[in-house]
Chain A
Amino acid sequence: MTKLEAVIQNSKLEAVKSALQEIGVEGMTVLEVRGHGRQKGHTEVYRGREYSVDLIPKTKLEMVLADGLVDKAVNAIMGAARTGKIGDGKIFLSRIEEAIRIRNDERGEGAL
């Protein structure tokens, strides 16, 4: 099992979600997050005081996938979330040792 974490542009959430559903991803967790990579922030001015905002609002998706689905999911996200500009986000993959369904104690890929 593999955990896929993707940080994407807020505006790309719907496109990514439907692309993942098409290839058979059944569950995901979506978070509203703030952060930055190489993208610079922006400046806000309130009554003459400038505030530089370097933590930019992003959307983060988390899902744990059966190994057979990982490449397809990565491609789906890349296809749906890419605009070609700085700030498109990143995808992280990591190994997962175990998954447990709380309702019935089912384990492994069956619990996903």
Chain B
Amino acid sequence: MAPNPSATLQPHAADHAHVTGLRRRLIELARADHRLPIGTDMVLHEQADPAAVMLDGKALGRVMIEAADRYHTPIALSLMDLRLEKSDLLQRLGVADEQTDTFHFDQAPSDDQMAQAAASDKAPFDPRGRAHLDAIRYVVRQGGERITCGMAIGPFSLATKLMADPITAVALAGMGMSASDEPDVAMVERVLELACGQVHRSLAAQIEAGADAVCVCEPAANVTFLSPNMIAGGSDVFERFVMGPNEVVARQLNDAGVGLIFHDCGELIDDMVRQFAHRLHPVMLSLGSSRVMWHDAELVPDDVVLYGNLPSKRFYSDADLPIDAVESMTRELAVKMKTTGKPFILGTECDVLSVAGSHDMIAAKVDRMLGCSCH
């Protein structure tokens, strides 16, 4: 697939001194063959009442620390709960808490709604959002050598969660239709504007809470939403809806001295990986199992740590992915990444979710991934 000629690689801003320090530390961890899963959800679901923990910042912070300690990593990761920003935004717009998960805009947000979102930007977060921020504060307060990592959905992925049929709307925009041609294009443009504001609010709060890094998750920025044919044909859809908003995210974090960990477990084309790595210049780039990491190493600058990408979404099934296969995949990934010379932290393709009835099987595979030798 030819790269989009309009999306040439532009130099990223210089790192803030704190970000430089974090980048060096992650590279050192990579050089020491560090491994970790995104395992906070696993530990959460071992608690007596996970739902209550998600509303209790101190308890949630303890879960973050327990996950980091269990997996022998200094990186304490927030729970990858990508519903938080949607819930907070919609509650600020007057949608009832219990309806936020299922709510979708069916037309472009009104001027009043846009104004209401802007006016309530400094309002307190909802209880789940407050617990998320308190958990970060709790981990930061414990001190030590931990890297406290917040979590946020990316602006494009949040926009897709706010619409019933985001793919068609984005595709129409990608075909060159304007807001005046198509109501769906008007809707996606306005919803993206709301999403950008919401992600900015979430990141500002996590920065204020003391996060060293924030993992920004853009799983919807993939070929299901963004046709490689359209991009190759010169469409600006990837630039407009993904890169532009995420460059703002990258600047906001870097200006505050907070590292960007960029996560996209979706199916990507090479040029998307290249643009993420060079233009957003994250301290770490986390990719899904559809990517061949040792090939992607060539697409990424030497100072961006690659993270991933064992197929943890399949850990629930021994028939589909036996534990010995996890070990052989781990070995292959470790050995082949070593030959690239690029900094790499071996891990999972996404949050390792606890599946009822399969928790022990999943935990055993995570342990095998962490424990098996490469010799």
Are A and B associated in one complex?
Answer: no
Contact residues of B with A, CB < 8 Å?
Answer: none
